[in-house]
Amino acid sequence: MKTFIAILGATTVLGVVGSAFAADAGQLAMGKERFDYWCDTCHAGDPREAGRFLPGTASLNAKYNGSRPGALVDRTDLLPPYVELVIRKGMEGMPFFRKTEISDTEMKAIAAYLSRNTRQ
Ligand code: HEC
């Protein structure tokens, strides 16, 4: 009986850990999908079409002058609260986004995606 309970306990722990990872991967996938939809036109790192102008990447390249990557997806210093603030308030040449365009869940997913390489 003890062994049975131990196995049951271990399976439950594995199950919980497993689903936490699954939720994380799902959130990152949603963040990437929403970023590509709403933000990529200005913030793409890779100007696939010749002559495509990316106001976000271009501004940030000029602002940081090589000290940080211009493309948001390559950043390693972004924190979720900052990304969420910029999404809701906008910034210089960047429009803000309403909850009817980007829901709180989607906003948090985008922030998690852009902060995935930040050591916290
Ligand atoms: C119409 C073009 C445009 C769109 C669409 C856009 N941005 Fe921006 N974004 C900009 C510009 C331009 C800047 C730079 C502002 C400046 O120079 O201070 C910027 C700056 C930022 C910054 C600040 C980076 C820093 O280093 O301070 C973040 C974060 C950001 N954008 C996130 C997003 C996210 C997330 C989305 C999609 C939900 C998005 N942006 C959509 C144009 C855009």
Bigger pLDDT: 45 vs 64:
64
Q: Which range (13-17, 63-67, 68-72, 116-120) has the least confidence?
A: 13-17
- The residue contributing the CA closest to ligand 1 atom 40 is 39
Position 22 scores a pLDDT of 44
Q: Determine whether 14 is exposed, middle or buried from the number of CB atoms within 10 Å of its CB (0-12, 13-18, 19+).
A: exposed
Report the alpha-carbon distance of residue 87 to residue 83 in Å, rounded. Answer: 6
Report residues whose beta carbon is within 6 angstroms of any ligand 1 atom: 38-39, 41-43, 55-56, 59-60, 63, 72, 83, 86-87, 91-95, 97, 102, 110
User: CA torsion 19→25→26→28, rounded to 10°?
Assistant: 150
Does pLDDT of 23 surpass 50?
A: no
Diameter of the chain measured on Cα atoms: 70
Q: pLDDT band at 98, cuts 50/70/90? A: very high
> For position 53, what pLDDT does the model report?
85
